[in-house]
A and B are shown apart, each in its own frame.
Chain A
Amino acid sequence: MVTTTLDQLRPGQGGRLVSLGGERLFRRRLMELGLLPGSRVSVVRAAPLGGVLELEVRGSLLSVRMSDAAILSVEVS
């Protein structure tokens, strides 16, 4: 088990969300989209120009900016 931040994962890698940092609004929105502590999340791909990550959470695909992914810590098994 290694704890790291989401932006450090390569496409295809996934883990269990440990905690969400950042502002209240951002945390609330992520949680409402199903990204709760304990949820499984994996990285699908990065945008060709970079800057944005596509994630898979609870059966849906979400994109977040790399800088925002850096405040989400995940446990990779």
Chain B
Amino acid sequence: MALAGNPNTGKTALFNRLTGARAKVGNYPGITVDRHEGLVRLGSEGRVARLLDVPGSYSLSARSEEERIAVRAIAGLEGEERPGAVVLVLDGTQLGRNLYFALQVIELDLPTVVAVNLTDVLAKEGRVFDVQRLRRALGVPVVALSARSGEGVDDLRAALAGVLDGEPEARPGWRWEPGTDALRRDVDEVHAALPPTWRDGNPRRERALAVWALLSLDEGDELRGIDGRLRAAASAAHERASVEGRSIDEEVVAGRYGWIEEHTAGVVTARASARDSFTSAIDRVLLSPLLGFPIFLALMTIVFQALFAWADPAIGAIESLFAWLGGVVGPALPEGFLRSFVVDGLIAGVGGVLVFLPQILLLFLFVAVMEDTGYMARVAFLMDRIMKACGLHGRAFVPMMSGFACAIPAVMATRTIERERDRLLTMMVVPLMTCSARLPVYTLLIAALYPPGRGDSFQQGLIMAGMYLFATVVALIATAVLSRTVFAGVNPPLLLEMPAYRMPQLLGVLRTMWERSTIFVREAGTVILVATITLWALLSFPADPELGPELAGRLGAAEASVDNARSGAAPDPAALESAEQRLAKVEAEISSLQLNESYAGRLGRGIEPAIAPLGFDWKIGVGLIGSFAAREVFVSTMAIVYGLEDDGEDTATFRQRLSSEKRPDGSKVFTPLVCVSLMVFFALAAQCMSTIAVVKRETKSWRWPLFMLSYMTVLAWVGSFTVYQGGRLLGFE
């Protein structure tokens, strides 16, 4: 069975009711839209049916592949299974517009049950809904229900069981008829051009598909795999109509609305105004010229604060849990390859996936609540002017803002944007927003701008703010450029329904959070895990570097003095401590040697010619490779590269070490200019394999993540090159 209807009708709530919130999430082939399917219990004899949740839309007519999903899923075209029954969900408070969609589905002549939802709201507004009249007009079973309270849902189950058994009452088919000879001729001509795969000997369904083609197809549509003859027939009909001074679209749409007005007037008693008092009272405040924007900013601050700060304790807890786990499991395994693989590859990798969950859960909590209440449409309304300036829809605001916390949940939140083009464009630029993983890198590099022991914290704060501003401006420019190049094409105008405000439902919100999290762990998580293990291997092998006689000698001496201090008759704590410190120092040197001789180290040397024009040496190259795990890993990787003992947690020591690092010619590596160049690189490069993995999952292909990686790397290189070489020309160091 297929569940179809307008957006904002409570269709998802009904799906959750019917399927008991257990759905299988798949995807429609070739398009980045999730496909939800669940099992519905019908009656008491344990009878079950599969139910497909068709994406909500206002019409079956389509210009893009995404919009065509509805007609494909309902009519069972092009690889989609034809449903045994269609459940049409209508919003009882907006019956006229919902019936426009219903008529199109009924024309397809499939067994259909109409479920009129929100009868609880109608009752509250004191309005009466006449079920029998609507049933007589439409000729199919009509059930009044409330998906929210569950009232009437069992009647729907019973009606569905009846329809599946071939109950004769379900008599779909054409309700309105093309009124003029000219329109009938247009329909007949397109009907004659229908491809064989769309024909099944049911003349009513075939005529319905012909009308669909007339409304959807022309030379400018973006549909793939449409029969050329069919499109030509539709285009020819439109051309002739325009010569005759007619509009086929208007005749068809007005024909259906005319039928609706004639046959269903008074099915629901009218309301004084379209604006129910509750929604308009809230909107008078939330969208008021004076308060609307400040309230919006305050709400967004809460969302952002949650992602940025409230998620932190949970993230820290997950990190400590996996560090603890590594500490427990590690010693139980034999030293060497296996221990390193399990602790640094496997456990660290799983931890690296789960660490994103707090932000994903929190963001989807807010997104689901904003969607369910109806506020998300208001966000688009308020922000459209600003977002439009760079070629985006107002709905792109929440994902873009979330990008300041972390690109992973932000990329996932792009699914609230209806159009695929806007969704992809937003995904491509979200990673340019300054995420929190860049902060540790900036902190270290900004400190390195000043001579050791000095540094003006106010100035440092300004530089940090400057980095945020710089990245945001670049992101907006990149959006504007991409929207006019890679994503050029017709930009359909904004048409935004402002749904009535409703209370969000806990079950639905929890379900969204759960579903997004499990999909992330299962699908993006595996890619992240494989990438983590690959990176671990690059950084860890070859495992045993040649120590050389001098280092081997010092290691032996340090180990011996620790043993001595331990085994002496009267243990001297001071001697033991200093011996252990010496040993730790030698071991850090060995780690540094191992990393520098590893595949990642060799790769760092390999890319040196490419990064030398940016002012980076091969050691920085190793840090850049390591930071693909996550940007902040740059700090700890550099700490190992430079043989520091504490993973770079002590900024002051690290800062000292950076200032003493010299190139082979004796000049300093970390000059202020190199630090700025490196910050620009981190601002612009796609140094994050988790982002790449999540874009892969959301776009269902490698094409977009690879495009993102390429354009951002080029952008970063050009940016750093300009800063470093330009700075040198201007005489900076």
Chain A: residues with CB nearer than 8 A to chain B? 22-34, 36-37, 44-52, 54, 56-65, 68
Contacts and interface: CB of A to CB of B under 8 A. Distances in A.
Contacts of A23: 490
Contact of B381 (A27, A47, A56, A60): A47
A64 B93 CA distance: 22
B492 A29 contact: yes
Contacts of B273: 56
19 contacts: A22-B493, A25-B220, A26-B493, A26-B495, A36-B250, A48-B290, A48-B292, A52-B385, A54-B381, A56-B274, A56-B275, A58-B96, A59-B94, A59-B96, A59-B271, A60-B94, A62-B498, A63-B384, A63-B498
Nearest to B388: A51
Interface residues of B, number: 48
Contacts of B499: 61
Contacts of A30: 495
Given A59-B94, A60-B94, A34 B494 contact: no
A40 B271 CA distance: 16
Nearest to B63: A25
A30 B377 CA distance: 18
Nearest to B216: A28
A68 B274 CA distance: 22
Interface string B573-602: 000000000000000000000000000000
B496 A62 contact: yes
Given A47-B382, A63-B381, A34 B496 contact: no
Nearest to B383: A49
A50 B385 contact: yes
B581 to A, nearest CB: 61
Contacts of B271: 59
Contacts of B220: 24-25
Nearest to B91: A60
Which 10 pairs of residues, A with B, have the shortest CB-CB distance? A51-B385, A61-B498, A63-B496, A31-B253, A59-B274, A48-B292, A32-B59, A68-B493, A28-B249, A49-B385
Majority SS at the chain A contact face: mixed
A48 B384 contact: no
A36 B385 contact: no
Interface string B483-496: 00000001011111
Given A47-B287, A59-B97, A28 B381 contact: no
A22 B247 CA distance: 13
B97 A48 contact: no
A28 B293 contact: no
B100 A34 contact: yes
B494 A28 contact: no
B374 to A, nearest CB: 10
Contacts of A45: 283, 287
A56 B292 CA distance: 19
Contacts of B257: 34, 36
Contact of B274 (A22, A32, A36, A61): A61
Given A25-B492, A59-B94, 5 more contacts: A28-B215, A28-B253, A45-B283, A52-B384, A60-B94
Instruction: Name which of A34, A44, A48 has the most chain B CB atoms within 10 A of its CB.
Output: A48
B128 interface: no
Instruction: Name which of B254, B293, B495, B498 has the most chain A CB atoms within 10 A of its CB.
Output: B495
B269 interface: no
Nearest to B270: A59
A60 B61 CA distance: 20
Contacts of B377: 63
Contacts of A59: 93-94, 96-97, 271, 274
Instruction: Name which of A32, A36, A61 has the most chain B CB atoms within 10 A of its CB.
Output: A32
Contacts of B610: none
Contact of A60 (B97, B380, B383): B97
A61 B275 contact: yes
Interface in B319-352: none
Nearest to B293: A48
B493 A65 contact: yes
Contact of A65 (B384, B386, B490): B384
Nearest to B289: A48
B528 to A, nearest CB: 39
Contacts of A48: 287-290, 292-293, 382
B58 interface: yes
Contacts of B494: 52, 63-65, 68
Contacts of B382: 47-49
A60 B374 CA distance: 14
B253 A36 contact: yes
A76 to B, nearest CB: 19
A34 B97 contact: yes
B218 interface: yes
Nearest to B496: A63
Interface string B598-627: 000000000000000000000000000000
B78 interface: no
A32 B494 CA distance: 14
A30 B220 CA distance: 18
Given A59-B96, A62-B495, A47 B249 contact: no
A56 to B, nearest CB: 5
Contacts of B218: 24
A40 B378 CA distance: 23
A62 B385 contact: no
B80 interface: no
A37 B257 CA distance: 12
